[in-house]
Homo-oligomer: A and B are copies of this chain.
Amino acid sequence: MTSTTSPAPREDGRADDELRPIRFTRHWLDHAAGSVLVEFGKTRVLCAASASEGVPRWRKGSGLGWVTAEYAMLPAATNTRSDRESVKGRIGGRTHEISRLIGRSLRAIVDYKALGENTIQIDCDVLQADGGTRTAAITGAYVALADAVAHLRAQGALKGEPLTGSVAAVSVGIIDGVPRLDLPYVEDVRADTDMNVVMTGDGGFVEVQGTAEGAAFARAELDALLDLAAGGCAELIRLQREALGS
């Protein structure tokens, strides 16, 4: 990815269209069918894919598989310790929202028939948070999912290729009027507009979620952010492929 010049330099010295250092450490866990510790700079998410025979009751007998995801954050992941949701006895709205987003994103590239009546459960646990935890989670979850699928294939449990493509996600935002890629926490809190974009390996959009934090944003800004995100996702897809050695 070529860096472009920008008037206000980023605190970490990156170009506006440059990703943070991305790292995938596969097989981080011994038990899970697939697992990866994904890092977007200081953001660190442990993605684990557990495969089990069978599907939820409402899907039994359909011949179709199921993929679902849960997102959570360790209490000490953030700057200021946050309370445990298990202790509070209820899951917060933000957690719910992100879990659902990850699940939808993955399901966009899954062929349930080929998966057969197997369930893959993805757990994305944020060990350290520095902005972009949901996009790191999606990007890592795909790698864990790919490993879990390979694991199921090795066991002869599949009826075809369940992955119809790959998926990655990145955040973009407008800081002081400048569109930027992959925001760390310090930029995220200052962003006027904040957008998370999930894309497939062949450049299709799976999710676009843009929010005006301050003033509403114009169509031209939206367009610039989408361009920036498309570039970032393409790079992430390349890095995923590299990590998976394919």
The chain A residues found within 8 Å of chain B, CB to CB, are 29-32, 35, 42, 46, 48, 50, 52, 70, 72, 74-81, 84-97, 99-100, 104, 108, 121, 123, 125, 127-128, 130, 165, 195, 199-200, 202-212, 215-219, 222, 226, 230
Contact = CB atoms under 8 A, between A and B. Distances in A.
Given A90-B90, A93-B100, A29 B128 contact: yes
18 contacts: A30-B128, A30-B130, A31-B76, A31-B128, A52-B81, A74-B123, A76-B123, A84-B123, A86-B86, A91-B93, A127-B127, A200-B216, A204-B212, A207-B211, A207-B212, A208-B210, A208-B222, A222-B226
Nearest to A207: B211
Contacts of A108: 212, 216
Most chain B CB neighbours (cut-off 10 Å) among A35, A202, A207, A210: A210
A205 B222 contact: yes
A127 B212 contact: no
B46 A72 contact: no
Contacts of A95: 86
Contacts of A230: 219
A94 B236 CA distance: 29
A217 B195 CA distance: 17
A204 B217 contact: yes
B199 A76 contact: no
